[in-house]
Amino acid sequence: MSRLTLQTPETAPEGSRPYLAQARARNGFIPNLLGVLANAPTAIETYLTVGEINGRSSFTLAEREVVQITAATNHGCAFCVAGHTAIAYKQGKLPVELVEALREQTPLPDDRLEALAAFTRAVIRRRGAVDDAELQAFRAAGYGDQQVVEVILGVALATLCNFSNSLAGTELNPELAAYRWQPKA
């Protein structure tokens, strides 16, 4: 059971209601993450707005999901790992080997995406203060300054939802149950 109220379009603060109604219309259900964020209209607005902006970054959908799943596994957010696994499979049509390696935090079968995951882990672990070798390895994989900053953007987005879910103890929606994930003990 969630430690915070799971808001609905009927119970949420007025400023959150349109966002929840849009989510229900778009998905056919309201992800419990949004129900939690709806407790603060500015939080749900920030998440959805920054998510839309992140979707316009120079990264492909696969690259964005590498950042999101890497952040979620590193933050231990089972809800976000499940949600982004669903996106990776349904929208991204990503290969099982790639998605499972992300979920298991093992080396990715694609060197460029592995460099992205490694850099994302370094940004999280070092709170942005990556060392020169980590930055150079990312650049050597073909990424530039724009993508350096876009990794930080993706981590910032992930941090909002990962930390909210961890604090709330957000339960997984039945629609995401097939993608359940548990952090390694």
Q: Domain ranges in the chain?
A: 14-54, 61-179
Overall fold of domain 14-54:
1.20.5
pLDDT in tens, the chain (185 residues): 789 999 999 999 999 999 999 999 988 999 999 999 999 999 999 999 999 999 999 999 999 999 999 999 999 999 999 999 999 999 999 999 999 999 999 999 999 999 999 999 999 999 999 999 999 999 999 999 999 999 999 999 999 999 999 999 999 999 999 999 998 87
| Residue type present at position 95 | P
pLDDT at 175: 95
Q: What is the pLDDT of residue 183?
A: 85
Q: Return contacts of 56-65, CB within 8 angstroms, 24+ apart.
A: 57/150, 57/153, 57/154, 58/146, 58/147, 58/150, 59/147, 59/150, 59/154, 61/87, 61/91, 61/92, 62/88, 62/92, 62/94, 62/98, 62/113, 63/113, 63/116, 64/154, 65/92, 65/94, 65/102
pLDDT of residue 2: 84
Asked if residue 144 lies in contact with residue 58, where contact means CB atoms within 8 angstroms, the answer is no
Could you tell me the pTM of the whole model? 0.95
Given this model, what pLDDT does residue 103 score?
A: 98
**Residue type at position 47:** Y
Query: Can you name the CATH fold of 61-179?
Result: AhpD-like (1.20.1290)
